[in-house]
């Protein structure tokens, strides 16, 4: 769903799906496609009726490697490298009409359903990343020494030495 100029704005898709006989031609670029490096099938959101917002967005299943589609390595995503993101270029990709999920214009509803679940996953990732960063910073403050004592003992860097345990839950400092 994400695009260079639209982000995850499901109602503002710049990728287009133009009717052509019994199918569609898809043109556009998707960025940060999760699992794009291993996916066999892509769910692509495209404007079937540009200019009318979410009511004109449809969803299509596109097999990876379909003629006209090209996956590119995405810039490093730092702490979520395991997500296998890729950017996908769609240059006159031909799909049959049965590749459309739901009816024409149902794409926005499908995208909102996907985003609702995705937001929970992203929040969990952020929490895990923050937890790991806190653990690393605390360990560094405990091990790094200046003037004969750990930097965590200085007021500017102080931490809760008495309550911190590497495997326990944090109670606050």
The SS3 assignment for 172 reads: coil
Residue 113 clears pLDDT 80, i.e. is over it:
yes
For 19, the token pair is 């009717």
pLDDT in tens, 60-93: 999 999 999 999 887 777 666 777 888 999 999 9
For 102, the token pair is 């739901």
Q: Which residues contact 41 (CB under 8 A, 6 or more apart)?
A: 61, 62, 63, 64
Residue 142, burial from CB neighbour count under 10 angstroms (0-12, 13-18, 19+): middle
Show the domains of the chain with their CATH numbers: 16-120 (2.40.110.10)
Confidence band of 97 (pLDDT split at 50, 70, 90): very high
Average pLDDT in the 101-110 region? 93
Q: Which residues contact 8 (CB under 8 A, 6 or more apart)?
A: 1, 2, 115
């Amino acid at each position: 769903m994400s695009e260079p100029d639209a982000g995850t704005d499901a109602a503002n898709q710049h990728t287009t799906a133009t009717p052509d006989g019994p199918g569609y031609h898809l043109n556009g670029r998707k960025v940060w496609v999760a699992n794009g490096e291993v996916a066999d099938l892509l769910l692509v959101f495209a404007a079937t009726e540009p200019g009318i917002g979410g009511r004109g967005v449809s969803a299509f299943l596109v097999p990876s490697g379909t003629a006209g589609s090209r996956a590119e390595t995405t810039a490093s995503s730092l702490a979520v490298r395991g997500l296998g993101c890729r950017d996908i270029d769609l240059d006159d990709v031909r799909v049959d009409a049965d590749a459309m999920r739901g009816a024409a214009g149902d794409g926005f509803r499908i995208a909102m359903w996907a985003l609702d679940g995705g937001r929970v996953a992203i929040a969990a990732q952020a929490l895990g990343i923050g937890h790991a960063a806190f653990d690393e910073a605390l360990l560094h403050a405990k091990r790094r020494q200046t003037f004969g004592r750990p930097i965590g003992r200085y007021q500017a860097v102080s931490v809760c030495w008495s309550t911190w345990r590497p495997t326990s839950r944090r109670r606050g400092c």
